[in-house]
Chain A
């Protein structure tokens, strides 16, 4: 999933790029959320006793539960979410997808085995307790239950119906969504880049490779986890690595992405070193000891690179993203009548939605004033400050709003 060990690379080379923030500090922000990723998370995480939540008819409702309550949580915190759904997968991803399918099959098989093992050990145990009724019951726990849980999570698949139901719910809730032509992360990144939203929210690190200026992780996690949101800024990532965007894309391909194979034996550390030294993937290939590190046969790195640079997305400027009043009766009839949700809770939730979407949102100072890059080690480097400030401002793309400190013209 995403880019292999990119988080580690960022942690090592540009810790400044990652900031943790509480969710309540994101009020007033519009955020594009990778829906497919979130739905997948909900199907895995929203569970009771290890089982997915289901309606009376036996259909899964974990995804609707997740979308409904987590969206309300965001709206309550003043965030304006916009969901982005996956379109068709890019052809380059077929290899990766085939691998995932294989893993799912494997997990399915193991799940059955684990269930059987659990059953057989259970029946053995029952026979045994009849013989020794006073024995300790802890034995039951050592069955194969954790494995059943683990494998059943691995078999989770987001189906078309799941997606359609979520879209229907979002529409009723008045939350906008976008259907991406291809990868959702790429569309999220395009929206953020065009300034339609403040950031892209996804767990997938390749959203950064699709050049979103800001990536938010853990946005759709449950409240109970108390997980702070981590905010990653692309410009600081590039600054920290001292890479251009193209070099960063090359690095991601070298680390291992969903679209082509990577070179065996090259880990995060070596990948950064190689790109630093040779600048481009071509440079790396030409200088690599191919005996030690065999390059995959007809390696489609160039296609992958093109996909990251110019992904297939809808033009953000043609999209209209609007938050509307929720359709209370619609939501109730869908969630309560069709899916068996608790009516009181649903009504309360919808009430929160309409209240928060109407309220005027608090603006932020960062929208008005420009930030002067902070100098750490101020005390020792103070003398250089004036000089530093003016030079860093010149390199800033939106520096025209700032005021130069000592009469120098931008």
Chain B
């Protein structure tokens, strides 16, 4: 028996929103410790990894580990039927799950809606992601990151991120011209969510596709701050932390001719 009840149902909506553009089908792996999801996009350039701890749900029950193969588009359609304040409960029979049951309870009136989503058999390639000590780790307001990506998209389809001790620079060069955005570390005691910090082992300069980065910034509503981790010749890690867990995106860099 699997059951997970989430009081802020809107969170689930936002989470789904941040994944569904990147992958169409994915397995939700449910275990005693929580729910997780790992999926790559079709061309194997980007990977999304989602983890929700069991403590975030009330109650959470999962007797044994199993997977829920879901078409995210279909799930999204059903989630649209839930109100933003609804309490959402996910239920499935772990021994022979062929459908996922979603219950939406409205907190104000007695309305309870119940939907069943048919599950799929998804043969997915799982990647093992090694723990990495990144050369550079940046924390910055997620809205700022979203804006930079959106703005530079006007100029080019790729962006170069240069990080030194006291500056982060985003540069784009395209046919119509060039653009660049510079950020300096700042800290604000009143508004910690607006601070920018750089942790640097060594300077980094890497190029990434803006199409994917803007795609990642769909996670912006999940968290005030975003963490970017970069290392030379390694995939970029973009992380949005939530109270209940995290969503991580990995993106392979663009490489010049060797």
A contacts, CB < 8 Å to B? 24-25, 27-28, 323, 360-372, 374, 376, 378-379, 382-383, 385, 401-403
From B46, B126, B250, A371 is in contact (CB under 8 Å) with B126
* Given A360-B158, A365-B235, A376 and B128 contact (CB-CB distance below 8 Å): no
Residues on the B chain within 8 Å of A27, using CB: 43
Say yes or no: B256 contacts A360, CB within 8 Å: yes
Judged by a CB distance under 8 angstroms, whether B254 is at the interface is yes
Say yes or no: B45 contacts A365, CB within 8 Å: yes
Say yes or no: B127 contacts A371, CB within 8 Å: yes
From B125, B130, B255, A374 is in contact (CB under 8 Å) with B125
Say yes or no: A362 contacts B250, CB within 8 Å: no
Which of A362, A385, A403 has the most CB atoms of chain B within a 10 A radius of its CB? A362
Distance in Å: Cβ of A402 to nearest Cβ of chain B:
5
Cα-based distance from A361 to B257 in the complex (angstroms): 8
Residues on the B chain within 8 Å of A374, using CB: 123-126
Say yes or no: B123 contacts A363, CB within 8 Å: no
Say yes or no: B126 contacts A365, CB within 8 Å: no
Jot down 18 A-B pairs with beta carbons below 8 A, ordered by A: A24-B43, A25-B43, A27-B43, A362-B43, A363-B255, A367-B252, A368-B234, A369-B235, A370-B128, A371-B125, A374-B124, A376-B121, A378-B66, A378-B67, A382-B64, A382-B65, A403-B128, A403-B130
Distance in Å: Cβ of B145 to nearest Cβ of chain A:
20
* Given A360-B207, A402-B128, A368 and B252 contact (CB-CB distance below 8 Å): yes
Say yes or no: B64 contacts A383, CB within 8 Å: yes
Distance in Å: Cβ of B253 to nearest Cβ of chain A:
5
Interface 0/1 of B108-129, CB less than 8 Å to A: 0000000000000101111111
Q: What are the 10 closest A-B residue pairs judged by CB atoms, nearest first?
A: A363-B252, A369-B127, A360-B254, A372-B126, A402-B128, A378-B67, A364-B44, A360-B256, A382-B65, A25-B43
Judged by a CB distance under 8 angstroms, whether B209 is at the interface is yes
Interface 0/1 of B88-102, CB less than 8 Å to A: 000000001100000
Closest residue of chain B to A26 (Cβ to Cβ) is: B43
* Given A379-B97, A382-B66, A369 and B207 contact (CB-CB distance below 8 Å): no
Distance in Å: Cβ of B158 to nearest Cβ of chain A:
7
Which of B45, B234, B253 has the most CB atoms of chain A within a 10 A radius of its CB? B45
Say yes or no: B130 contacts A401, CB within 8 Å: yes
Distance in Å: Cβ of B159 to nearest Cβ of chain A:
12
Cα-based distance from A339 to B197 in the complex (angstroms): 62
Say yes or no: B254 contacts A362, CB within 8 Å: yes
From A363, A367, A402, B254 is in contact (CB under 8 Å) with A363
Say yes or no: A365 contacts B44, CB within 8 Å: yes
Cα-based distance from A383 to B256 in the complex (angstroms): 44
Closest residue of chain B to A322 (Cβ to Cβ) is: B257
Cα-based distance from A361 to B252 in the complex (angstroms): 10
Judged by a CB distance under 8 angstroms, whether B42 is at the interface is yes
Judged by a CB distance under 8 angstroms, whether B18 is at the interface is no
Residues on the B chain within 8 Å of A382, using CB: 64-67
Judged by a CB distance under 8 angstroms, whether B54 is at the interface is no
Residues on the A chain within 8 Å of B126, using CB: 371-372, 374
Interface 0/1 of B222-239, CB less than 8 Å to A: 000000000000110000
Residues on the B chain within 8 Å of A323, using CB: 257
Distance in Å: Cβ of A265 to nearest Cβ of chain B:
38
Say yes or no: B128 contacts A362, CB within 8 Å: no
Contacts A365-B40, A365-B45 given; 8 further ones with Cβ under 8 A?
A: A25-B43, A362-B45, A364-B252, A368-B235, A369-B235, A372-B127, A374-B125, A382-B65
Closest residue of chain A to B252 (Cβ to Cβ) is: A363
Closest residue of chain B to A386 (Cβ to Cβ) is: B65
Residues on the A chain within 8 Å of B27, using CB: 378
Closest residue of chain B to A369 (Cβ to Cβ) is: B127
* Given A374-B126, A382-B67, A361 and B255 contact (CB-CB distance below 8 Å): yes
Say yes or no: B254 contacts A364, CB within 8 Å: no
Closest residue of chain B to A378 (Cβ to Cβ) is: B67
Say yes or no: A376 contacts B254, CB within 8 Å: no
Cα-based distance from A403 to B129 in the complex (angstroms): 8
Q: Tell me the residues in window 61-92 of chain B with beta carbons closer than 8 Å to chain A beta carbons.
A: 64-67
Residues on the B chain within 8 Å of A28, using CB: 255
Distance in Å: Cβ of A409 to nearest Cβ of chain B:
15
Residues on the B chain within 8 Å of A378, using CB: 27, 66-67
Distance in Å: Cβ of A194 to nearest Cβ of chain B:
16
Cα-based distance from A385 to B67 in the complex (angstroms): 12
* Given A371-B126, A403-B128, A363 and B45 contact (CB-CB distance below 8 Å): yes
From B42, B47, B65, B123, A25 is in contact (CB under 8 Å) with B42
Cα-based distance from A378 to B254 in the complex (angstroms): 34
Distance in Å: Cβ of A339 to nearest Cβ of chain B:
30
Judged by a CB distance under 8 angstroms, whether B133 is at the interface is no
Residues on the A chain within 8 Å of B207, using CB: 360
Say yes or no: B130 contacts A364, CB within 8 Å: no
Judged by a CB distance under 8 angstroms, whether B131 is at the interface is yes
Residues on the A chain within 8 Å of B253, using CB: 363
* Given A379-B66, A382-B67, A366 and B44 contact (CB-CB distance below 8 Å): yes
Cα-based distance from A376 to B124 in the complex (angstroms): 8
